[in-house]
Amino acid sequence: MLKIFIMEDNSQQLHNLQAVVKTILLKLQVTDSLVLPFSSTTSLNKALPEPSADNVFILDLQINHNKRAGLQLSQLIRQKDPEASIIFITVHDELLYTTYKYRVQALDFISKDQDNIEQELMKDFRLITRQHQKKAENLFHYTSYNQDQTILLDDICFFKSNKNNTHSATIFTNDNQAIEIHQNLTTIANNDSRFIRVHRSYLVNPHTVKNVDFYHRQIEFYNGMTCPIARRKAKSFFALVRQYKHPADEKMPQQERG
């Protein structure tokens, strides 16, 4: 979920900014979002969320006649939340260079004197939503012990069915963890095309596969783990795996892969 925190001490401008952001999110068809307005650094500071790349802060530099109040808060935000997006909106163009000295890595610096605030914010949110989508594509969501969890796609080797519980499966990870989840292989395969059914009891992430051993009919992963593959699945799966590149492949002669 995108969480947008807007800080502006002028109540009318705060209302306008909130309306502009909601309009932009509607145009970009972002339905999973929350827009939160604040009129002081104190109130926003108390409401700082858990660090996340999904956090967006739109800050006025001058709060209660302090030209650097927004900058000072942004420095605190960046220390706690290194992946958040920070956008400054201000009448003080002369402070643009100062924002770089504060090393807060702001996404944008928009002047209130211009009539293109909505257009500039639209550009920023297009970039943010693309990054948000890319992040979502690299995550797998699952339920374990009644808690919703996520794991990076590239951390998953394969899923194995649970013989004792047909409604569950186990994720085997790159760091050799075994995580029991409350989803079975059929549910995962039907809902997520990124994983390939290679065996009645195994669902594999092709991105983490090093090789397919046709003689022993097994799949080898970069962390040394293996799992079986059905004979009729081996050739087509091997062709699929060769489409992906793994960081380790850059150090490996081409003929050694596969």
Extract the runs of DSSP E, i.e. beta strands, from the chain.
2-7, 33-38, 55-60, 85-90, 108-111, 139-144, 147-152, 156-161, 169-173, 178-181, 196-199, 202-204, 209-213, 218-221, 226-228
- The string over 91-116, giving b where at least 16 C-beta atoms fall within 10 Å of a residue's C-beta and e elsewhere, is ebeebeeebeeeebebbebbebeeee
This model's pTM is above 0.85: no
Burial of residue 220, with CB atoms counted within 10 A of its CB: 0-12 exposed, 13-18 middle, 19 or more buried: middle
Name which of 47, 108, 109 is nearest 80 in CA terms: 47
Question: Which distant-in-sequence residues (6+ apart) come within 8 Å of 168 by Cβ?
Answer: 162, 180, 181, 182, 183, 184
Residues, the chain, total?
Answer: 258
**Most distant CA pair in the chain, distance:** 75
Residue stretches of the chain with pLDDT short of 70: 92-104, 245-258
CB 81 within 8 A of CB 48: yes
pLDDT confidence of residue 248: 54
pLDDT confidence of residue 104: 63
Tell me 117's DSSP state: H
pLDDT confidence of residue 256: 43
d(CA 148, CA 50): 16
**What's the Cα-to-Cα distance from 171 to each of 23, 212, 218, rounded to whole Å?**
40, 20, 17
CB 128 within 8 A of CB 56: yes
List the Cα angle 172/176/250 in 5-degree steps. 95
**Beta-sheet pairing, 156-161 with 147-152:** unpaired
List the Cα angle 37/39/41 in 5-degree steps. 105
